[in-house]
Amino acid sequence: MNKSFHALVVNKIEQSFSRRIESLTLNDLPEAGVLIRVCYSGINYKDSLAAIPNGHILKNYPFVPGIDLSGIVVSSEDPRFKKDDPVIVTGYSLGVSHFGGFSEYARIPADWIVPLPSGLTLKEAMRIGTAGFTAALSVFRLEQAGIAPDKGEVIVTGASGGVGSHAVALLSDLGYSVVASSGKSAEASSYLKMLGAQSVIAREAVFDGTVKPLQKQQWTAAVDSVGGKPLAGLLGRMRYGGYVAACGLAAGSELPATVFPFILRGVNLLGIDSVSCPMELRQVIWQRLAELHKPKKLAAIAQKEIPLSQLPNALPALLSGKKIGRTIVILNPEVTDE
């Protein structure tokens, strides 16, 4: 069988760059043990970078991006998976060096695949996606460090983005007092309070443009998806012994901080890696998401759903910094799971 199907293909030849829907066949997919009919994917910041000429994500062209997918197993060479199994794939090299989820079919190494937990539909899994998984992993690490709802306020930076939205919702559902920091509109403030934030503050209240080694102690813990200078500013505002889960770099990869928050206030910086997260922990986090997720909040976080045909225009929009929540891509609309 060499079935034809559609996928988003990005290509770069010298100074020429293209991003369009193309027809592929199964022979075009990379070799791997499990063939999946992709039902849903989602747009992430890394996907948008992969879809522009100088995003510094992709090394090889032509390429199919998409760091998330959920779907149904078509065939498998691995005994852990059988035909018609519902599955999730996020992280590893998906959508970066291995053809990703913006395709009606994907061929994936079995070691990357998570069985869909009971309690989640395939669409809900992509409403969560890498963003929700990263947020849940951040919260899990904070809990492991001893952060509990009675310890004080938790701030979420970049709160109206995908990771931030999920972090606000999860922390709120777990009983934490959540402060959401966002640089977006009044619409974002209403949205974040609906997700469970007790208060919403401007990003300038966290970082005013100048990195100061130490400032007034304000928050016990933080989930930071922003990185860069704002993260350096955040470190100087953490309470004694506080923890910051760092999981993003929307504001840059450099960290122009001093050691003072660490050696004078005992602040702790936790690195959150959702890409190479071990499978055992990965399955624990997905099961936890299945048990903790609130369908109404998930639907609010991922209000926008688009077909594959709209993806070429939708991808760059995420880089504007104005988007709220998460966008789901529907690849096989005849597959319904809700």
Going by pLDDT thresholds of 50, 70 and 90, the confidence category of residue 44 is very high
Q: What pLDDT was estimated at residue 293?
A: 82
**Digit-coded pLDDT (tens) for 46-64:** 999 999 998 889 999 999 9
Is residue 138 domain-shared with residue 261, that is, in the same domain?
A: yes
Is residue 94 domain-shared with residue 136, that is, in the same domain?
A: no
CA–CA separation, 282 vs 211, rounded Å?
A: 35
Pairing of strands 304-307, 178-182: unpaired
The reply to whether 99 falls in a domain is yes
Is residue 250 domain-shared with residue 319, that is, in the same domain?
A: no
- CA distances (Å), origin 120, targets 111, 130, 200: 21, 15, 30
The reply to whether 277 falls in a domain is no
Is residue 147 domain-shared with residue 104, that is, in the same domain?
A: no
> Averaged over 277-286, what is the pLDDT?
97
Is residue 49 domain-shared with residue 179, that is, in the same domain?
A: no
The reply to whether 161 falls in a domain is yes
The reply to whether 58 falls in a domain is yes
CA–CA separation, 155 vs 11, rounded Å?
A: 40
Is residue 147 domain-shared with residue 240, that is, in the same domain?
A: yes
DSSP-assigned beta bridge partners for residue 10 = 19, 63
Is residue 163 domain-shared with residue 107, that is, in the same domain?
A: no
The reply to whether 262 falls in a domain is yes
Q: What pLDDT was estimated at residue 306?
A: 96
Q: Domains in the chain: how many in total?
A: 2
CA–CA separation, 192 vs 182, rounded Å?
A: 9
**pLDDT at residue 322 tops 80:** no
> Averaged over 237-261, what is the pLDDT?
95
Q: What pLDDT was estimated at residue 15?
A: 86
**pLDDT at residue 335 tops 70:** no
> Averaged over 84-88, what is the pLDDT?
97
**pTM, two decimal places:** 0.94
The reply to whether 290 falls in a domain is no
Residue 262 has phi, psi (to 5 degrees) of -80, -40
CATH number of the domain within which 314 lies? 3.90.180.10
Residue 88 has phi, psi (to 5 degrees) of -125, 140
CATH number of the domain within which 187 lies? 3.40.50.720
Identify whether the C-beta of residue 318 lies closer than 8 Å to the C-beta of residue 27. Answer: no
| Rg for the chain, CA atoms, rounded | 20
> Averaged over 308-315, what is the pLDDT?
95
Q: Which residues of 74-98 are buried (b: 16+ CB within 10 A; e: fewer)?
A: bebeeeebeeebbbbbbbbebbbeb
With a pLDDT cut of 90, the percent of the chain lying above it is 85
**Digit-coded pLDDT (tens) for 151-205:** 999 999 999 999 999 999 999 999 999 999 998 777 889 999 999 999 999 999 9
Is residue 320 domain-shared with residue 257, that is, in the same domain?
A: no
Q: What pLDDT was estimated at residue 319?
A: 82
Is residue 247 domain-shared with residue 186, that is, in the same domain?
A: yes
**Digit-coded pLDDT (tens) for 212-221:** 999 999 999 9
Is residue 111 domain-shared with residue 135, that is, in the same domain?
A: no
Is residue 98 domain-shared with residue 141, that is, in the same domain?
A: no
The reply to whether 298 falls in a domain is no
CA–CA separation, 329 vs 39, rounded Å?
A: 9
Is residue 136 domain-shared with residue 248, that is, in the same domain?
A: yes
88 closest CA partner among 120, 61, 55, 60: 120
**Digit-coded pLDDT (tens) for 255-276:** 999 999 999 999 999 999 999 9
Query: 247: domain range?
Result: 131-271
The reply to whether 135 falls in a domain is yes
Q: What pLDDT was estimated at residue 69?
A: 98
Pick the last residue of a domain from 271, 293, 322: 271
